Structure 1
Amino acid sequence: MTPRDRLLGLTVIVLWGLNFLAIRVGLDHFPPFFFAALRFLIIAIPVVIFVPRPQVPLRWLLLYGFGFGFGQFVFLFWAMHSGMPTGLASLVLQSSAPFTVLLGAFLLREKLSVWQVSGIAVAVVGMSLIGWDRSHHAALLPVILTLLGGLSWAFGNLGSRLAAANTVGEPAPMRLMLWMCVIPPLPMLALSAVVEGPTAGWHALGTAFSADAWPSLVGLAYIILLGTIAGSGLWTMLMGRYPAGMVAPLSLLVPVVGIGASGLFLHEDPSPLSLVGAVIVIAGASAAQMRRKPANTVFSDTPAASPPARLGV
């Protein structure tokens, strides 16, 4: 990964780490499933009208949209609405990184270096240390829901990579990300209508312009403009440019920003043990970004010349 792309990846980490604060503010006013639908619906309407659909196989676009868009945020918003602390949510959701690496290795047969595997293992130790230290802040159900969100994100990462690798013509990562946003709104609105009631979300939207609820609109704007369009657009570009096992470990740094921001703004102060775990996460994620050496690979059963993202297409 080039220094420029590494810097772009770190920019995504900061945007996504702060995104958890915006989610918390929004969930203080909106029902979770409707809030998840709204953040994509506002993007999807102008996209359908003004943005040409990227020439990618529909199945990979659907995998990207249902994994990254629908599954990840339905489970994440449900978990945070059920009591998952903001900082801990930012940590547990990054289970997507080891999930992505493993899925990329076994489903796409992507090569993993010893450095990548070791780095992931070290980062998971750090995440586990933070999770063990902070687990008393959350019940079991929110943690399980957040893990399911991480698994959904991992499948979305694979869908993003497969879609980008099989684009007809010039790659268009921003268009791909924007059209991913077209997929989740209708299923999410249907889920909201069934679970939360057909009018609950719309009533919350109608009262969001009051003096007490306007911060939820600020949170929604951040999620749409910075968390989704900027953050997810850059992430999609990186996933299309590099193997999933090289990009995904960067997301392990999100909890460092998320826990720090939640401590600063929400007074979820990290303990010394959590800080030690954060340092371990940084060290592991950095090691996982080391350049692969062909002589030291694992989980590899395809020739190096084979483009892994096109297997099975």
Structure 2
Amino acid sequence: MISTRNWSFLPLNGVLFVILAAVWGTSFVAIEVGLEHFPPLLFAALRYAVAGAIVLGYATLTTDRWRPVTRDDWTAVGVVGAFVIAGYHGLLYLGELHVPGAIAAVIVSLSPVLTAVFASAFLADERLGPVEVAGLAFGLLGVVVVAAPDPAALVGSTLLGVALVFLGGACFALGSVLTRPIDSGLPLRSLEGWGMLVGAGLLFAAGDVRGESMAAIDWSAPAVASLAYLTIVSGVLAFLLYFDLLDRMGPTEINLVGYLEPVVAAVMSWLLLGHLIDGTTLLGFGIIFFGFALVKRDAVFTLAGGATDAVAGDGR
């Protein structure tokens, strides 16, 4: 029998889960829109400089410890800032210069599979068996199907974009794993706020190396709208909602949000930009999800059983 912390909380958890997926799925399209007006790394840096200041301000009002004190605190902040914020978003934004946001969302959906792989490499109590290795292989196959590389154009723009987004997803997964053994008592809101600010600083530095400049920004209405959405809605409100759902549902369930995001991204990309997802991309997404189901098969069976119990209990 599944704990009442899981899907038995529906419909509230279900509604919040869909809202989170909708917000984060739409963010891939908002990034695509904003990249028409911002240099990529500067765009990401501005987003997280503002979002980090807001989240950290909120943490000072709602937590008992907002400032990193110990070495472990600062190590955790550094990992989040370098991998989860700067590495992931920097590579994602660069990748979306070459591939649509909806395709980027499909590639990023491989992150939970990569998280399991990195956990097996860095955490002593987590190891991949033959089934998990097969799941990883299917996940990677799904990314290859999405890329659909033409042998005559292996250095093409689309393949470059897929590679950058894939590496960004790997950074996110690696950062998520590296923070687990760090013995930091810093509250999640404080950790996220500081991580955003550190990540923004790294993105500003990387943008300067690339020669990006504030003078290159086109402060048009779409530019302001995309930055505002990504900063306030996707960057602040969605992360606070994520923390709430993480406490309500647990990490395995909340990770499933990554498999609803590509659906939202595809719909919004079609509605706002007129982009359609082709059958090859849908096939690739299905293969990636199958790989995830193999890697996390016990959790998937548990969730499926819990959902069945909840429906039976409602008499539906």
TM-score band, normalised by the shorter chain? 0.7 to 0.9
RMSD: 3.8
2:120 matches 1:101: no
TM-score (norm. length: structure 1): 0.73
Distance 2:128 2:100 in 1: 34
Q: Which residue of 1 aligns with 2:87?
A: 71
Q: Is the 8 A contact 1:25 1:215 kept in 2?
A: yes
Q: Is the 8 A contact 1:34 1:189 kept in 2?
A: yes
Q: State which of 90, 93, 99 in structure 2 corresponds to 1:84.
A: 99
Q: Which residue of 1 aligns with 2:271?
A: 264
Q: Which residue of 1 aligns with 2:25?
A: 17
- Greater mean alpha carbon deviation, residues 99-108 or residues 154-163: 154-163
Q: Is the 8 A contact 1:161 1:239 kept in 2?
A: no
Q: Is the 8 A contact 1:60 1:162 kept in 2?
A: no
Q: Which residue of 1 aligns with 2:311?
A: none
Q: Which residue of 1 aligns with 2:229?
A: 222
Distance 1:58 1:75 in 2: 24
Q: Is the 8 A contact 2:41 2:94 kept in 1?
A: yes
Distance 1:71 1:238 in 2: 25
Unpaired runs of 5+ residues, structure 1, are: 295-313
AA matched with 1:180 = G
Unpaired runs of 5+ residues, structure 2, are: 61-65, 303-316
* Offset at residue 151 of structure 1 (A): 0.9
1:90-144 residue CA offsets vs partner (Å, 9 max, x unmatched):
1122332211111123322455899x94877766665554443999995322221
Q: 1:110 to 1:138 in 2, by over 3 A?
A: farther
Q: Percent identity?
A: 22
- Greater mean alpha carbon deviation, residues 13-22 or residues 133-142: 133-142
Q: Which residue of 2 aligns with 1:186?
A: 201
* Offset at residue 261 of structure 1 (A): 2.1
Distance 1:289 1:237 in 2: 25
**Does the residue aligned with 1:269 lie in a helix, a strand or coil?**
coil
Q: Which residue of 1 aligns with 2:262?
A: 255
Q: Is the 8 A contact 2:56 2:193 kept in 1?
A: no
TM-score (norm. length: structure 2): 0.72
Distance 2:14 2:138 in 1: 20
Q: Which residue of 2 aligns with 1:30?
A: 38
**Does the residue aligned with 1:167 lie in a helix, a strand or coil?**
coil
Distance 2:193 2:77 in 1: 11
